[in-house]
Chains A and B, each alone.
Chain A
Amino acid sequence: MTTLTNGDDLHLSLYRKMFQIRRFEEEAARAYAQSKIGGFLHLYIGQEPIAVGASAALRPDDYVMTTYRDHGLALARGMSPRAAMAELYGKVTGCSKGLGGSMHFFDKEHNMLGGYGIVGGHIPIAVGTAFASKYRGEDRVSMVFFGEGAVSIGDFHEGMSLAALWKLPIVFVCENNEYAMGTPLSRTLSVEDVSLKALAYGMERDRFNSEHVLQVRDRLAEAVARARTNSEPTLVEIRTYRFRGHSMSDPGKYRTKEELEERKKKDVLLRSRVELEEKGHKAALEAIEKEVEDEITDAIRFAEESPEPGPEVLEPTTYAGPFAR
């Protein structure tokens, strides 16, 4: 079993990240309601400790990829709120020049290799980054995130199967938030323990509830070490809960108000705040929160004032070199 790491400085810095994601997304939801952001907007609110704990378990040169619910991981990896918000606004200053949108955040500098919109299709791609690390003899680790809804699609199995066969340094992280869009777990999976899928591939597995950001970090650090040291993959299932609908267009009628209220009481972000305040860090928390508020206000202003991409960006982003037509 794991032990919690009791570094208050670390905990404060992880709290800052979680709070940043929360506030970023609350403001994104507001901008969406004002029609300043188009398309789909899938919020990560409630799941923050996973992206933040995971990022703390990784090195900056490790690769990460995730599904379309990607704002949290991008910010956790170090993407600037400015680049993130500008992307939501479809501006050229956004992380993908305004061409990707909410579901396609990319930040090569931070080895955040994307948010993907086809459920599970990104899993083999992440395995490919791990393949490249091993091919080059580097000790980089890849980590790929997906929901439990991705567990049924073929690419999940092909990715797991090949990663285990070729012994690749990757951690598969299933963020099981119990609802695949509007469909509860009981109606999507015949076996609700996702981690058991690892057995079929001879892969190590882990499974736990997301209760504390440091616990997430510590448990994932074990899988990361296995990848880095032995070049072995692990499937980790983390039980979590999203407080918002699947996307902004989803009123979430498939779950009761009582269920939601009950889960919100277990908000891991608030738990961290209470714990840190009890340990005497009230002033530090307030300073962090003020700083983050200013950062998000700045990001919104930056996004609003930024220019839109012009048609001249289209062809050079489609092909490297001359356009092929």
Chain B
Amino acid sequence: MTVLRFREAVRAAMVEEMERDERVYLVGEEVGHYQGAYKVTEGMLDKFGSRRVIDAPITESGFTGISIGAAMVGLRPIVEYMTWNFSAVAFDQILNNAAKLRQMSGGQLSIPLVLRAPNGSAKQVGSQHSHAMEHFYAHVPGLKVLAPAMPADAKGLLKSAIRDDNPVLFMESETLYGVKGEVPDDPDFIVPLGVASIVREGTDVSIIAWSRMVHVAIEAAAELEKEGISAEIVDLRSLRPLDEETIVKSVTKTHRAVVAHEGWPYGGVGAEIADRIQRLAFDELDAPVLRATTLDVPMPYNARLEQYVIPQASRIIENVHRVLYKS
């Protein structure tokens, strides 16, 4: 075990897999000489050279398409976007090619591709740099979507993603890069896709979250504890495939659930989870499933309004009170 920051855990996963497998390479804007816009790729150019750590010009659609083509014929590319918000420029490539090619070709082609980038809100970076994009992609069959909260999970999940034969999208909260945690050194350590973790045991309510919102949920749970409310926190880690079993098990124990996520509420992943809980555990529920999400507006620049729009611990607590009929 070594204590690593989240960004170092992501880097360690890439370095280990690139050492293990010659077919793995990294491409993106500023990943090489600049050492990564968020310093995730620091030192990688020196280690692997410009053949395998490739600076791309501002051509999201172009280098995504190129990576799909390279994956189709046997390489295993890792693509870094400067933020997931910019992946919208490459949405056609991800949706219409990466996700669909296997089926369109009658199963002849596989696309072993990892797309990764910072995601969600940061501090006052405005509407076009602040959105949590996993909701758009989790909708799409053919894609897998991961959103870890802890450094160890970031490493283990990214290693699984690189070894997976499907297109896998990896969401790194922009605010988590500095978070520290114990990370296994074993190069064979992986975290399987589609398995949630219980980061806090509780009995009164299940808070289901992923990525940055797990940390906000931990903060909320500490406050709730002071009121005598015991919250269980389920960190999904993986949104597709989704660990339905762990969600249902937790709700069966607590009988109440709040889903907490960044991103807009309308048609978001939270709605999918709420649907599954009511379908699979209806008899266990003592209250409707509620969602603590980003408000239904683009992200404002103004600091106070930004904090108002992003889900805070207070919004989770408020929703926990409502499912406990304490408000």
Interface residues on A, range: 35 or more
A118 engages B69 (CB within 8 Å)? no
A63 contacts which chain B residues (CB < 8 A)? Answer: 73
A320 interface contact, C-beta 8 A = yes
A-B contact count (CB 8 A): 161
Which of the candidate stretches B101-109, B150-158, B251-259, B283-291 sits at the interface with the other chain? Answer: B101-109
**CB neighbors of B among A117-156 (8 A):** 117-118, 121-133, 135-136, 154-155
Q: Name, among B56, B70, B96, B102, the residue most crowded by chain A CB atoms within 10 Å (CB to CB).
A: B70
**CB neighbors of B among A158-196 (8 A):** 158-159, 161-162, 165
Nearest chain A CB to B145's CB is how many angstroms away?
9
Q: How many Å lie between the Cα of A161 and that of B56 in the bound state?
A: 11
B246 contacts which chain A residues (CB < 8 A)? Answer: none
B72 contacts which chain A residues (CB < 8 A)? Answer: 113, 125, 128-129
Q: How many Å lie between the Cα of A127 and that of B68 in the bound state?
A: 10
B57 interface contact, C-beta 8 A = yes
Residue of A nearest to B68 (CB): A125
How many chain B residues touch the partner (CB < 8 A)?
Answer: 46
B104 engages A118 (CB within 8 Å)? no
Bitwise interface map of A from 93 to 108 toward B, beta carbon under 8 Å scored 1, else 0:
0111111100010111
B103 contacts which chain A residues (CB < 8 A)? Answer: 99, 314, 317-318
A162 engages B62 (CB within 8 Å)? yes
A159 contacts which chain B residues (CB < 8 A)? Answer: 62, 65-66
A324 engages B166 (CB within 8 Å)? yes
Nearest chain B CB to A108's CB is how many angstroms away?
4
**CB neighbors of A among B4-61 (8 A):** 25, 51, 56-57, 59, 61
A313 interface contact, C-beta 8 A = yes
A114 interface contact, C-beta 8 A = yes
B97 contacts which chain A residues (CB < 8 A)? Answer: 116, 118, 121-122, 125
**CB neighbors of B among A274-325 (8 A):** 313-314, 316-325
A114-B105, A135-B75 as given contacts; A129 in contact with B69, CB under 8 Å: yes
Nearest chain B CB to A114's CB is how many angstroms away?
6
B71 engages A106 (CB within 8 Å)? no
6 closest Cβ contacts across the A-B interface?
A128-B69, A124-B65, A158-B62, A97-B106, A106-B105, A96-B106
B interface vs A, CB < 8 Å?
25, 51, 56-57, 59, 61-75, 92-93, 96-97, 101-110, 112, 141-142, 144, 164-166, 193-194, 240-242
A interface vs B, CB < 8 Å?
63, 94-100, 104, 106-108, 113-114, 116-118, 121-133, 135-136, 154-155, 158-159, 161-162, 165, 313-314, 316-325
